[in-house]
Amino acid sequence: MLYPYLSVNEKGHLTIAGHDTVDLAERYGTALFVLNVDRLRENCRVYVNTMKECFGEDSMPLFASKSLSFTGIYRLVNECGMGTDIVSPGELYTALRAGFPMEKAFFHGNNKTDEDIDFAIRSGIGYFVVDNEDELVSLNRIAEKHGIKQKILLRIAPGIDPHTHKAIMTGSVDSKFGKAIATGQAKAITEYALSLENVELCGFHCHIGSQIFDCQPFCDAADSMLKFMADIKAQFGYEAKILNLGGGFGVRYVESHPSIDIAENIRLVANHVKTACERLSLAVPTVLMEPGRSIVADTTTTLYTVGSVKEIPGFRNFVSVDGGMADNPRYALYGSEYTVITASKAADPCDYLCTIAGRCCESGDLIQEDVMIAKPQRGDIVAVLTTGAYNYSMASNYNRLPRPAILLVGKGFEKLAVKRETYEDLCRLDLDF
Ligand code: LLP
């Protein structure tokens, strides 16, 4: 099994933290996201403890809530000592509803409207991560209107290629995010920010990409950022207090992916940062990170019910499930790999080669191709592992499919955190005319 919290019980059913998945599917319906809170807490703990150990008490991980956003998740990560990264007023609203301490919230995004800026300031957001001059102009004006000096970081493109999927690579010069060091624009926006009355520049941010297994690109990014910070210090006499290195550590979706020791990687990055600071005569800044995937991905399993098994001689076998790209668009978008198990026959041999198809009305609606699972039939439960990140948060109502529920489980614990959408929910905003 990919994770220690998965097992097979005497009925031959897959269990998650001791909970029988067939039983869960029966009681809560499918498609269903089952999130293991013990695993979530453990993932948070590793980041929180290691970052404090390496960078001191002020350092903390910020949960990148674009990877999974619902009210309860902000409560859970807050209890674990994390801050949060939000990228939209919707995420901000959800965090507020959860009572998340706003001073630990960082507001990202390459296009924050004036309304968004106003809303975030009124909410007492800790920091804006400013993307561009247009935003800075508005932010300075709106902060003045509220009579405050808003703390900010500037988003910088360090020009690092982390060799990941191009759709999730963000730190290069040719990117819609931030200002590049290489073009001189990073320096220009820094000078501008320092000249403004109503913003307080606290440091710099970069994010190089996602699903990165190697620690080297993070060290390269840190090098590039620290060299930039040293140049800024030399030219403007300004020494940044915060360096936010973004998110991006990879997650093991299938056996062939490496398993990554997050604590060890943070320590390696920390040593690298400290050496570079010494070399550049910089005080070691408070380092922040923004993990999303590596906090939530491996906490969650999606359960589906099989509706049909279609064998096309000479071609392939399709196993159709009661979900698909509407709850998990990642295979359709990125060709992402997943581990699939026939949860109701988890003790049977995995000798059936098939494609797991969704129920949306288009051929690209596949969850995974060419997987070996125990042969299912209509009514069997299929589990897709590692669906905690960028599944629910990217889910849609395509084909008017209601979004699945999210069930929290742990040792001896079970609680519904998000209800399944109803057909009524789907029509809630439609007006009669
Ligand atoms: N910080 C910033 C500024 C980001 O843009 C992201 C992710 C993160 C942190 C968190 O990165 P993580 O630790 O989760 O890798 N939808 C894609 C992933 C998009 C990532 C966007 N930014 C997927 O499903 O793979």
How many Cβ atoms are within 10 Å of 308's Cβ, its own excluded? Answer: 13
Q: How many Cα atoms occupy the beta-carbon half-sphere of 297 within 13 Å?
A: 21
Report the C-alpha gap between 280 and 288 in whole angstroms: 20
| pLDDT score for 174 | 84
CA of 251 to the centre of ligand 1 (A): 12
Kindly report the length of the chain: 433
| pLDDT score for 131 | 98
Q: Atom 18 of ligand 1 has which residue's CA nearest to it?
A: 168
Q: Atom 16 of ligand 1 has which residue's CA nearest to it?
A: 390
For domain 108-291, which architecture applies? Alpha-Beta Barrel (3.20)
| CATH code, residues 6-36+298-426 | 2.40.37.10
| pLDDT score for 102 | 98
Report the C-alpha gap between 84 and 149 in whole angstroms: 21
Domain extents for the chain? 6-36+298-426, 108-291
Summarised one tens digit per residue, pLDDT across range 143-172 is 999 999 999 999 999 998 776 655 655 667
Q: Is the CB of 291 under 6 A from ligand 1?
A: yes
202 as an active site residue: the answer is no
Report the C-alpha gap between 15 and 419 in whole angstroms: 22
Find the mean pLDDT for residues 27-32. Answer: 98
Instruction: Yes or no: say if 389 and 297 are a contact pair by the CB < 8 Å rule.
Output: yes
| pLDDT score for 162 | 77
| pLDDT score for 160 | 87
Instruction: Supply the pTM of this predicted model.
Output: 0.97
Best mutation site among 66, 325, 331, 384 for ligand 1, i.e. most ligand atoms within 8 A of its Cβ? 66
CA of 225 to the centre of ligand 1 (A): 19
Report the C-alpha gap between 107 and 84 in whole angstroms: 9
Q: How many Cα atoms occupy the beta-carbon half-sphere of 411 within 13 Å?
A: 5
Instruction: Yes or no: say if 352 and 375 are a contact pair by the CB < 8 Å rule.
Output: yes
Q: Which residue has the tokens 């062939």?
A: 256
Q: Atom 6 of ligand 1 has which residue's CA nearest to it?
A: 247
Strand partners, 203: 153, 242
Helix (H) or strand (E) holding 177: none
CA of 291 to the centre of ligand 1 (A): 8
Report the C-alpha gap between 130 and 120 in whole angstroms: 13
CA of 326 to the centre of ligand 1 (A): 19
| pLDDT score for 1 | 85
Best mutation site among 210, 215, 252 for ligand 1, i.e. most ligand atoms within 8 A of its Cβ? 210
CA 248 to ligand 1: nearest atom = 15
